[in-house]
Amino acid sequence: MADQPLKKVPGSTGYTSMLGGSAVTSALTAEVELRGAAAAEDLVVAEVAEPSEVGFWRLAVIRFLHHRAATVSLVILLFIVGSAIVLPVFQGELYRIQNYRNPYTQPFVFHARVIALPVGLSVTVPWSDHLLGTDDLGRDELARLVRGARVSLTVGLLAMLGYIIIGGILGALAGYYGGWIDNALMRLTDVIIAMPFILVVVAVTAAFGGVSLTVLVLVIAFLGWFEIGRLMRAQFLVLRESEFVQAARALGASDYRIIFRHIIPNSLAPIIVSATLGVSGIILLEAALGFLGYSIPPPEPSWGNLLGQYEEALQLGKTYLVAFPAIALVTTALCINLVGDGIRDALDPRQR
Amino acid sequence: MTFYVIRRIFIGLLLLVFMSVAFFALTRVTPGPPFSTGENPRAHQELIDRRLHNLGLDKPWWQQYPAYLNALAHGNLGDSYVYNQPVSKLLMERVPNSILLLGVSLIFSLLIAIPLGILAATRQYSKVDTATSVASYVGISIPSFVLGIFLLLAGAVWLRHATGGTFYFPLFGMHKSNNTGLDDLAWHMVLPVISLSILSIAGFSRFMRASMLEVLHQDYVRTAKAKGLPGRTVNYKHALRNAILPIITLVALQTPQIVSGAVITEGIFSWPGMGLLAFQATVTRDYPVILGVVMLVAALTVLFNLLADIAYAVVDPRIRY
């Protein structure tokens, strides 16, 4: 991909990030500086001032980092993913350990705790047994939240992988070869898109006789790939007729070579953007299913089924039991969306 | 054109048959037959079996299907197992409720989103634009059930406490008992409409902004500005007309969804619409109702897609089929 033409670099008009216009000028100057610096290096080495190529992906990273909201979101997201991976290792079975003596412990309640240090000293620190409180069965809410993050993120990423595989292949075939497969795909997607998606997923998962992570991922992947498929098809329709593909064909390149060496590398940008945004869509979908009681069954927590117990929690005035999963869910979705926006700006600046 | 329309209608009918087979099979292979999830745990198994037998549900689905297709072709959607009423009657009761709720929320969100999108586009990179962008990102990241729960909490519980019980929004339903006045109905609609609208306002305003920006960068707009026309005329007379077309298409294609209802919002606010009906039918394995909803939505989608394509051809003479 390093041989992406530099014309992808925007001119002075049209390239701007959606959030924060000031990023534009700084990103541009950074690019110019970078190219200048690279050119200077070339001067020393080769003593020829050829216009040097800074790789497409490197430029993309620079542009992304200049999108402030996206960068901050990426950091938050990495923190969330990191805690979802690391914390459960330490917490072990904490998420399912019940304690009937202290249900509904309030969150953020600290007490002094003396910690003995090895040299015979001891320090007193503020300590909370259950930082985010406990639920109706006295289970630690933080542990449940973190464990739920695992479910949400796993489903989001794996189902998106499924979208890309199914949608990518079928969309590419439809766009490249056209004909009946194209027609069938388009008419079918028209209808599936209008279906109440949640209901269809509920019905299909029920047909598998019970929900597990695998079933959930497979069902979502098989029912939701249409958007990626349509996007892939549109890309193929346009690129199939483009001049560089015609040139390749004129040189006698095979279909295989044209698709994999010429069209796919050039169609990646919008797919990556759509895939990123799609992950947040899937996470929200999984939460909606959990909310309705059709995601991973309890005692395994997911953000959706934590939220699904809202009636009881609200009747007892335990708002925090609803607030924490809601905050986790919305923050994750928002960060993914902003990162997606940043990637869009970075990969294809001509799109706003 | 005539041939194209006939061909499309034919393809549409084929698609509907395909959908009916798929969903018929799907409902039948789902574990847990009807009447197994009922409220009566002491129902005699013999009775349940006899009922299943009378309905022909003990046969494999491919033997049941021809009868269903035959009835469907005669416009008969069958009877609900749970409500003991014709499905068509149930649909007739529920569809207006969903259209009311989702229609009002669609109009409401368009009325807010379109001006917002135009404002953001004409003042690109201004504070208004940035604020709109941020708000729309937050908007699309909040799922309807989170919004619904917190609206319920704020509008019906906190507000009630804060005002000492004098001013609050109702928790659920369409009407207070025995009150069918329009004001009461509107009062019950406030919270669900807001919770449905936020998401679509965020989506539509972003779409409108993008569409408007695209038009604003076109040559004819620059020409109009160069001629010295006032910015207002250029923006609202020249640019807006073209920028609003994609929105109209989007809305037209979303119309079938108004009929299919909103599963989660209707659930939270106990709004007796199609979404709630379909969800309950899925839970109780009320096969004819599930299929009725699916077939209605599928038929409407096929119809509206066809209408949209024909409308394109009528509006834009360059398009020929």
What's the complex ipTM? 0.81
Q: How confident is the model at residue A3 (pLDDT cuts 50, 70, 90)?
A: very low
B212 occurs within a structural domain: yes
Q: Is the pLDDT confidence value at A34 over 60?
A: no
Same domain, A26 and A46: yes
For residue B11, the one-letter residue type is I
B179 occurs within a structural domain: yes
Q: Do the Cβ atoms of A207 and B305 come within 8 Å?
A: no
Q: Is the pLDDT confidence value at B37 over 90?
A: no
User: Which of B124, B149, B266 is most worth mutating to test chain A (most A CB atoms within 10 A of its CB)?
Assistant: B149
Which chain A residue's Cα is nearest to B216? A14
pLDDT of residue A329: 92
**Least confident residue range of B115-129, B140-154, B166-180, B264-278:** B166-180
Of B138, B217, B282, the CB nearest to A199: B282
Is the model more confident about B83 or about B205? Answer: B205
Same domain, A236 and A306: yes
CA distance B97 to chain A (A): 17
Same domain, A28 and A113: no
pLDDT of A145-177, one tens digit each? Answer: 888 898 899 999 999 999 999 988 888 888 888
Phi then psi dihedrals of residue A71, to 5 deg? -65, -45
Same domain, A6 and A67: no
Mean pLDDT of chain B: 83
pLDDT of residue A8: 34
Q: Do the Cβ atoms of B146 and A333 come within 8 Å?
A: no
CA distance B11 to chain A (A): 8
Q: Do the Cβ atoms of B141 and A333 come within 8 Å?
A: yes
Percent of chain A residues past pLDDT 70, beyond the cut: 82
Is the model more confident about B274 or about A52? Answer: B274
Instruction: Give me the total of CB pairs closer than 8 Å, taking one residue from chain A and one from chain B.
Output: 120
Counted domains in chain B:
1
CA distance A126 to chain B (A): 32
Q: How confident is the model at residue A77 (pLDDT cuts 50, 70, 90)?
A: very high
Q: How confident is the model at residue A46 (pLDDT cuts 50, 70, 90)?
A: very low
Contacts for A142 with CB less than 8 Å, ≥ 6 apart: A130, A131, A132
Q: Do the Cβ atoms of A333 and B149 come within 8 Å?
A: no
CA distance A145 to chain B (A): 16
Same domain, A30 and A122: no
Is the model more confident about B67 or about A11? Answer: B67
Q: Looking at residues B49-62, what average pLDDT do you find?
A: 78
Q: Looking at residues B232-240, what average pLDDT do you find?
A: 83
B296 occurs within a structural domain: yes
Partners of B30 on chain A (C-beta within 8 Å) are: 203, 206-207
Partners of A319 on chain B (C-beta within 8 Å) are: 153
Domain ends where: A36, A52, A68?
A52
CA distance A307 to chain B (A): 8
Question: Following CA atoms A145, A146, A150, A152 in sequence, which dihedral angle do they give, to the nearest 10 degrees?
Answer: 30
Same domain, A222 and A283: yes
Which chain A residue's Cα is nearest to B285? A203
Partners of A188 on chain B (C-beta within 8 Å) are: 15
Q: Do the Cβ atoms of A329 and B294 come within 8 Å?
A: no
Partners of A292 on chain B (C-beta within 8 Å) are: 263-264, 267, 279
pLDDT of residue B39: 56
Q: How confident is the model at residue A352 (pLDDT cuts 50, 70, 90)?
A: very low
For residue A125, give the H/E element and its range: strand A122-127
Q: Is the pLDDT confidence value at B154 over 80?
A: yes
Q: Is the pLDDT confidence value at A237 over 70?
A: yes
The answer to whether A124 touches A117, Cβ cutoff 8 Å, is no
3-state secondary structure chain A: CCCCCHHHCCCCCCCCCCCCCHHHHHHHHHHHHHHHHHHHHHHHHHCCCCCCCCCHHHHHHHHHHCCHHHHHHHHHHHHHHHHHHHHHHHHHHHHHCCCCCCCCCCCCCCEEEEEECCCCCEEEEEECCCCCCECCCCCEHHHHHHHHHHHHHHHHHHHHHHHHHHHHHHHHHHHHHCHHHHHHHHHHHHHHHHCCHHHHHHHHHHHCCCCCHHHHHHHHHHHHCHHHHHHHHHHHHHHHCCHHHHHHHHCCCCHHHHHHHHHHHHHHHHHHHHHHHHHHHHHHHHHHHHHHCCCCCCCCCCHHHHHCCHHHHHHCCCCHHHHHHHHHHHHHHHHHHHHHHHHHHHHCCCCC
Is the model more confident about B10 or about B257? Answer: B10
Q: Looking at residues A301-325, what average pLDDT do you find?
A: 83
CA distance A216 to chain B (A): 15
B29 occurs within a structural domain: no
Q: Is the pLDDT confidence value at B278 over 60?
A: yes
B31 occurs within a structural domain: no
Q: Do the Cβ atoms of A209 and B31 come within 8 Å?
A: yes
**Least confident residue range of A40-54, B47-61, B257-271:** A40-54
Same domain, A2 and A69: no
pLDDT of residue B319: 64
Q: Looking at residues A312-317, what average pLDDT do you find?
A: 79
Partners of B256 on chain A (C-beta within 8 Å) are: 194
Q: Do the Cβ atoms of B282 and A188 come within 8 Å?
A: no
Q: How confident is the model at residue B281 (pLDDT cuts 50, 70, 90)?
A: confident
Partners of A341 on chain B (C-beta within 8 Å) are: 137
CA distance B251 to chain A (A): 12
Percent of chain B residues past pLDDT 90, beyond the cut: 6
Classify residue B128 by burial, with Cβ atoms within 10 Å: 0-12, 13-18, 19+: middle
Residue A7 DSSP symbol: G
The Cα A41–Cα A44 span in angstroms is 5
Residues A268, A272, A274: CA angle, nearest 5 degrees? 120
Mean pLDDT of chain A: 78
Same domain, A153 and A124: no
Residue B40 DSSP symbol: -
pLDDT of residue A48: 52
Q: Is the pLDDT confidence value at A345 over 60?
A: yes
Q: Do the Cβ atoms of B133 and A190 come within 8 Å?
A: no
Which chain A residue's Cα is nearest to B146? A326
pLDDT of residue B36: 64
pLDDT of residue A2: 40
pLDDT of B296-309, one tens digit each? Answer: 888 888 888 888 77
Q: Give me A316's structure tokens.
A: 């007892």
Question: What's A251's domain CATH number?
Answer: 1.10.3720.10
Partners of B23 on chain A (C-beta within 8 Å) are: 203
Q: Do the Cβ atoms of A194 and B282 come within 8 Å?
A: no
pLDDT of residue B106: 92
Q: Looking at residues A222-243, what average pLDDT do you find?
A: 86
Alpha helices (runs of H) in A225-317, residue ranges in sequence order: 226-240, 243-250, 255-257, 264-292, 303-307, 310-315
Partners of A330 on chain B (C-beta within 8 Å) are: 138, 141-143, 146
pLDDT of A176-200, one tens digit each? Answer: 887 788 888 777 777 777 667 787 7
CA distance B249 to chain A (A): 14
Structural domain for B309, as ranges: 88-315
Of A18, A21, A190, the CB nearest to B305: A190
Same domain, A132 and A158: no
Partners of B264 on chain A (C-beta within 8 Å) are: 198, 288, 291-292
Q: Do the Cβ atoms of A334 and B138 come within 8 Å?
A: yes
Counted domains in chain A:
3
The answer to whether B203 touches B140, Cβ cutoff 8 Å, is yes
The Cα B95–Cα B102 span in angstroms is 11
Q: Do the Cβ atoms of B294 and A195 come within 8 Å?
A: yes
Is the model more confident about A46 or about B85? Answer: B85
Q: Do the Cβ atoms of B290 and A203 come within 8 Å?
A: yes
**Least confident residue range of A68-72, B290-294, B311-315:** B311-315
B187 occurs within a structural domain: yes
Q: Looking at residues A205-214, what average pLDDT do you find?
A: 78
Identity of the highest mean pLDDT range in A37-41, A98-102, A119-123, A287-291: A287-291
pLDDT of residue B177: 67
Same domain, A129 and A185: no
Same domain, A210 and A126: no
pLDDT of residue A13: 36
Same domain, A60 and A33: no
pLDDT of residue A81: 92
Q: Do the Cβ atoms of B130 and A203 come within 8 Å?
A: no
The Cα B164–Cα B96 span in angstroms is 35
Question: What's B116's domain CATH number?
Answer: 1.10.3720.10
> What is the C-alpha end-to-end distance of chain B, expressed in Å?
6
B51 occurs within a structural domain: no
**Least confident residue range of A38-52, A267-281, A284-298, B24-38:** A38-52
Q: Looking at residues B277-284, what average pLDDT do you find?
A: 84
Q: How confident is the model at residue B107 (pLDDT cuts 50, 70, 90)?
A: very high
CA distance A325 to chain B (A): 9
Percent of chain A residues past pLDDT 90, beyond the cut: 12
Measured CA distances, A110 to A43, A90, A118, A127, A133 (Å):
63, 21, 24, 5, 11
Residue A140 DSSP symbol: B
Of A16, A206, A314, the CB nearest to B153: A314
Q: Is the pLDDT confidence value at A218 over 80?
A: yes
Q: Is the pLDDT confidence value at A76 over 60?
A: yes
Structural domain for A128, as ranges: 106-136
The answer to whether B81 touches B34, Cβ cutoff 8 Å, is yes
Q: How confident is the model at residue A335 (pLDDT cuts 50, 70, 90)?
A: very high
Q: How confident is the model at residue A72 (pLDDT cuts 50, 70, 90)?
A: very high
